[in-house]
Amino acid sequence: MSRLPRLIYLAAAALGALSLAGCHSAFNGAKDVWSEQSAHPITVATHIVSGEIHVAKGATDLSDDERGQIADLAADYHARGLGKLSIAAPQSADGDKSAMHIAAQMTDVAFNEGVDASAVEFSLYKPNRPDAPILVSFSVYEATPSACGDWSKNYAFAPLNHPTPNHGCATQNNLAAMVENPHDLVAARDQQPPDENRRAFVLDQYRKGQVTSSQKDDQAQGAVSEVNK
């Protein structure tokens, strides 16, 4: 091999080695992958939600306002509650029949909000005052984001184009505030069972050689904008 082709060969090999080294450098993220999840983690932990229902002494039925309070708590529990929906009524010197009756009504209200009756846990407690309320409580997951506001780096000087300490923090805080069930940040929800009736209908249509898709709704219309035409 002559000198010139050999020099060209060596130069090409050197360029190839440099390009491979560049692919594995920390600059382009191959070794140092940045993400807002790792830079600004969201902590998910359990939190107790509680409410007090003040029932008039000697009352045997819930008022409309009290039913509304129970309904709100039960709906919240149905949406994101963990474990049991706890109802604790104060013991009465005159007997606990009225408290048991009130608790049964509260269970019915919770059932109407989608709460299974087996999920309601009833108990009695010793009150420390005559007007002690009925206590309703349950556990939920709560998302707590990391604090923002780290402006220690000079944003006007970033020769390596690395993310700044505060980058992505606002996004993580917004996510923690908006997520319906913070446990979704920890693990995916269980898959819901399929619609057996719909599956049987589609299969029957398929066997008959008929259309299996849903009918088009009258409101499902679309048109291309003609502004630029």
- pLDDT (tens, 9 = 90+) of the chain, 229 residues, equals 555 556 555 555 555 554 544 444 444 444 557 888 889 999 999 999 999 988 777 677 888 888 899 999 999 999 889 899 999 888 775 555 677 788 788 889 999 999 988 899 988 888 888 778 889 999 999 999 999 988 888 888 888 888 889 999 999 999 999 998 898 888 887 887 888 888 898 999 899 998 888 777 766 666 666 666 5
Q: How far apart are CA 192 and CA 9, in angstroms?
A: 61
Q: Quote the pTM value.
A: 0.59
Residue at token pair 């069930």 = 181
Please report which helix (H) or strand (E) contains residue 6, including its range: helix 3-23
Q: What is the DSSP letter of 110?
A: H
Q: Which residues contact 22 (CB under 8 A, 6 or more apart)?
A: 28
Contact 124, 96 (CB under 8 A): yes
Q: How far apart are CA 5 and CA 13, in angstroms?
A: 12
Question: Can you tell me whether residue 130 is helix, strand or coil?
Answer: coil
The amino acid at 160: L
φ/ψ of 52, rounded to 5, equals -115, 130
Burial class (CB in 10 A: 0-12, 13-18, 19+), 196: exposed
CATH code of 42-144, in short, is 3.30.1330.60
Contact 142, 182 (CB under 8 A): yes
How remote is the C-alpha of 107 from its chain's centroid?
26
Q: How far apart are CA 87 and CA 115, in angstroms?
A: 13
Q: Which residues contact 34 (CB under 8 A, 6 or more apart)?
A: 162, 163
Q: Which residues contact 163 (CB under 8 A, 6 or more apart)?
A: 34, 39
End-to-end CA distance of the chain: give it in Å, rounded: 65
